[in-house]
Amino acid sequence: MQTRREAKEALFEQFARVTKALGSPRRLELIDLLAQGERSVEALARSTDTNLTTVSAHLQALRRANLVATRRDGTRIYYRLAGPDVGALYVQVQRIAEAHLPDLPAVATAFLGEDDSEEIGREELLRRLQDGSVTVIDVRPGEEYASGHIPGAMSIPLGQLAERLGEIPAGTDVVATCRGPYCVLSHDAVRILHDHGITARRLSDGVLEWSAASLPLERAGA
């Protein structure tokens, strides 16, 4: 018969299944991508510059903890987060790291570059969207935009931005949005826009945080 101690250890082992699944930088990167929408294994491998075997192994670890779910389309398997609570957990991991890890700012700057651009918060952006005084450009890849984007945002993936500047309405305030506060795409977008004489800011977080705050998203074709 199981002792009380054994039962308690079994209980905490269940909790540890979640933390063990999250205990890998690459698996957190996969969650970061899946927070933007469903992806195939092949697409995740391309986005993370990782071979299929390694990506599949990481996805299986996440699946064993029920943090991701799958669907099959022919021979291709697509992954998605098991629920919005998984995305919220990922956001909370970032907030805890910000609050308790003194090395984080320097590491973030090494990746994102010096933060020399202005940012705008969700509430101000929502207000300005409602009064029509801002142009929002979503610089994520097109499939992420299609999965869910801020209402009214234009899709201009970062790699196309320099050649599509003429599509941005002249004389409007511009806000670049991407995946979240540690997404380099919006930082680079603002630099490109500034280099071409266009004043721009970036959303302080991203689509995941926007959705977590119960703000509306649009989906392509909806």
| Tokens of residue 192, six digits | 């490109």
Coil, strand, or helix at residue 123?
A: helix
Cα 194–141–116 angle (5° rounding)?
25
Return the residue matching tokens 């992806």: 39
Is pTM beyond 0.85? Reply is yes
For the record, the structure tokens of 186 come out as 């919006």
Mean pLDDT (the chain) is: 94
Q: Which superfamily does CATH assign the domain made up of 107-212 to?
A: Rhodanese-like domain (3.40.250.10)
Q: What is the reported pLDDT for 136?
A: 97
pLDDT tens digit string along 9-29?
Answer: 999 999 999 999 999 999 999
CA geometry: angle 122, 125, 130, nearest 5 deg:
125
Question: What are the structural domain ranges in the chain?
Answer: 4-87, 107-212
The one-letter amino acid code at 53 reads: T
Residue of 67, 129, 178, 183 marked active site = 178
pLDDT digits (tens, 9 = 90+) for 136-155: 999 999 999 999 999 999 99
pLDDT for residue 222 is more than 70: no
Helices (H), ranges, 41-83: 41-48, 52-64
pLDDT band at 221 (very low <50, low <70, confident <90, very high): low
Neighbours of 151 (CB within 10 A): 12
Please state which CATH number belongs to domain 4-87: 1.10.10.10
Please write the tens of the pLDDT for every residue from 107-140: 999 999 987 678 999 999 999 998 888 999 999 9
Same fold, 4-87 and 107-212: no
For the question of residue 178 being annotated catalytic, the response is yes
Measured between alpha carbons, how far is 176 from 181 in angstroms, rounded to an integer? 12
